[in-house]
Amino acid sequence: MSQMSKIVRTQSNIIFPFITIFGLYVIAHGHLTPGGGFQGGAVVASGCIMLLVAYSSKWVLEKININRLSVFECFGALGFIGTAFFGLIFGGWFFNNFLVRNGILFNVVPEFGSTLSDFNTAGVLPLMNFAVGIKVIAGLFVIVLVMGLASSAKEWKQ
């Protein structure tokens, strides 16, 4: 993949922060609004893929390290399953929501019925949303980045 024109690059430079902020909002408010870790991670990863298409995979590879993305992916997976194991340790069974009433964070229980959304609710769900979000961002971006690198390597060989 070679670089696209200057118009496309400038446009993607302008749009990229808004896409990232929206995706992070979807991840952070996963326990209040529709969406969650998977959806917000897909939004942020498509923003990164837009930069990858507008610039080139070679340019992206100069900016970031691909091994670091793998580390992020593994960190998200370990955070997700580690939260589940913390539930096993503190609460008694796997995937126990141990923060919901007696934690220091996210410990508010809303009243029954339609109430106003409080960010400080839902126990371990925001942590799991965050872990899955990191995992999906790194995973999807690594998949497209590796495919772009492979295709551009084929072009260079010819």
Partner 1 sequence: MSLRTTVAVIMFSVLVVFFISTALMLSFGDPMKTEMDDYIIMHTQNETGTNSGVTTIVFDYRGFDTLGEATILFSAVSGVIMIFRKVKK
Residue-wise DSSP of the chain: -----HHHHHHHHHHHHHHHHHHHHHHHTTTTSS--HHHHHHHHHHHHHHHHHHS-HHHHHHHS-HHHHHHHHHHHHHHHHHHHHHHHHHTSSTT--TTTTTSSSS-B-PPSSS----SSBSTTHHHHHHHHHHHHHHHHHHHHHHHHHHHHHHHHH-
How crowded is residue 100: how many other Cβ atoms within 10 Å of its Cβ? 17
Number of residues that bind partner 1 (CB under 8 A): 47
Site map for partner 1, 104-123, x if CB under 8 A? --xxxxxxxx-x-xx--xxx
Is residue 65 a contact point for partner 1 (CB under 8 A)?
no
Judged by CB under 8 A, which of 47, 51, 98, 129 binds partner 1? 129
Is residue 39 a contact point for partner 1 (CB under 8 A)?
no
Judged by CB under 8 A, which of 22, 25, 38, 86 binds partner 1? 38
Is residue 23 a contact point for partner 1 (CB under 8 A)?
no
Residue 33 vs 65, nearer CB to partner 1: 33
Judged by CB under 8 A, which of 18, 85, 90, 94 binds partner 1? 94
Judged by CB under 8 A, which of 27, 132, 134, 137 binds partner 1? 132
Residue 47 vs 133, nearer CB to partner 1: 133
CA distance 139 to 121: 28
Residue 63: partners with Cβ closer than 8 Å, 6 or more residues away: none
Which residues form the interface with partner 1 (CB under 8 A)?
Answer: 30-34, 36, 38, 70, 73, 76-77, 80-81, 84, 94-95, 97, 100-101, 106-113, 115, 117-118, 121-125, 128-129, 132, 135-136, 139, 142-143, 146-147, 149-150
